[in-house]
Amino acid sequence: MYTHILFPTDGSDPAESVLEYALQIASEHEATIHVLNVADTGRDSLTTIRGKVIDVLEEEGQEIVDEAAQRARARDVAVVSEVLQGDPYRTIVDYSEQSDIDCIVMPTHGRRGIQRFLLGSVTERVINTAAVPVIAVNPDRDRPLAYPSQRVLVPTDGSRGAELALTEGIDVARATGATLHLLHVVETGNLGPDARSALKENELTGRANEIMAEAAETVEEASVEAVTSVIEHGEPSNVIRNYIDENEIELAILGTHGQTDFSRYVMGGVSAKLVRTSPVPVMWVREPGSDVTPDS
């Protein structure tokens, strides 16, 4: 399923804890893991004594990737290590394209909690621009990480982004034997008590049934037998988190764009809440051509 997996790292404790998960994925799929450290040479603080600072950053980066590569080899995982200069998120995305990466695994934050992989900075930008799935892992989770996952959740809203997430979920389920959980959330938080709101809720519920039937048909055609389909009502991010907890989900897969009220998967909305608070890794699958251009 995956042949080349990219693991960007800054050598922090959060990143190191996520490395183990990346190695589990690589080992399961007999993939090569690419360990990348980016010497951030775009910061204003490097304008003075620039050469010496860059040399130090690259030396530190080499130590970081060498240590990670050693851990990979100890698990008999093929590894490629690289230290590059540049803007972190752009360098990560460019490397993924140039190296035929199939999947990127990275923490939601890294060194000192705010310096390198802060959500809203590098991880968010990679999710918004990478052409391959990105698995964002919260290093502050309470649960141990486990791959291959036995229970995989795909929230769906019938959008193109959700279709791509479902395709990825089907591939994961077929490759690992996981049970696939399909979830649609009818967002009722903005509905009032009047008759018009009742009619609106009925319309949303009817559409939810159509969406779930279409998703279930797609899964059936893919010959995935272990499937659970659920329609819930409420605020999407809360419903998804609760479903993850109550059903012992180990991996969630979502599209980053959609069309219905539920699918506000642009950063700052439902997706940002999920990435920050999810107790399990979240794989983001971006709809081609749906770039959200980050600020430089």
Q: What is the pLDDT of residues 152-163, one digit of tens each?
A: 999 998 888 889
Q: Which pLDDT score is estimated for 15? A: 86
Q: How far is CA 250 from CA 38, 61, 151, 204, in A?
A: 29, 31, 6, 28
Please give the pLDDT value at position 143.
81
- Given a contact cutoff of 8 angstroms between Cβ atoms, the answer to whether 131 and 32 are in contact is no
How would you classify the pairing of strands 134-137 and 103-107? parallel
Report DSSP state, residue 45: G
Computed over every residue of the chain, the mean pLDDT equals 83
Fold exhibited by the domain 151-285: Rossmann fold (3.40.50)
The residue to which tokens 């983001």 are assigned: 284
For the segment 42-55, what is each residue's pLDDT rounded down to a tens digit?
A: 654 444 445 566 77
Whether the predicted pLDDT of 69 surpasses 80: yes
Question: For the chain, what are the domain ranges?
Answer: 4-137, 151-285
Q: DSSP code of 290?
A: -
Q: Just give the CATH number of 4-137.
A: 3.40.50.620
Residue 231 has pLDDT above 80, yes or no: yes
Number of residues in the chain: 296
Q: What is the pTM of this model?
A: 0.86
Predicted local distance difference test score (pLDDT) of residue 190:
57
Three-state secondary structure call for residue 233? strand
What pLDDT does 178 receive?
A: 95
Span 236-248, mean pLDDT?
A: 92
> Do the domains spanning 4-137 and 151-285 agree at the CATH topology level?
yes
**Cβ atoms of 140 and 132 closer than 8 Å:** no
Q: Which of 255, 43, 41, 287 is nearest to 156 (CA)?
A: 255
d(CA 260, CA 149): 29
pLDDT score, position 114? 39
Joined together, the tokens standing for residue 264 give: 């506000």
pLDDT, tens digit, for every residue of 11-59? 888 888 899 999 999 999 999 999 999 987 665 444 444 556 677 888 8
pLDDT at 53: 62
Residue range 212-218: mean pLDDT, rounded: 94
- Higher pLDDT pick, 261 / 101: 101
- Determine the average pLDDT of the residues in 229-250: 92
Distance CA 185, CA 88 (A): 35
pLDDT tens digits along 271-294: 667 777 788 999 999 876 655 544
Residues 6+ apart with CB under 8 A from 261: 187, 204
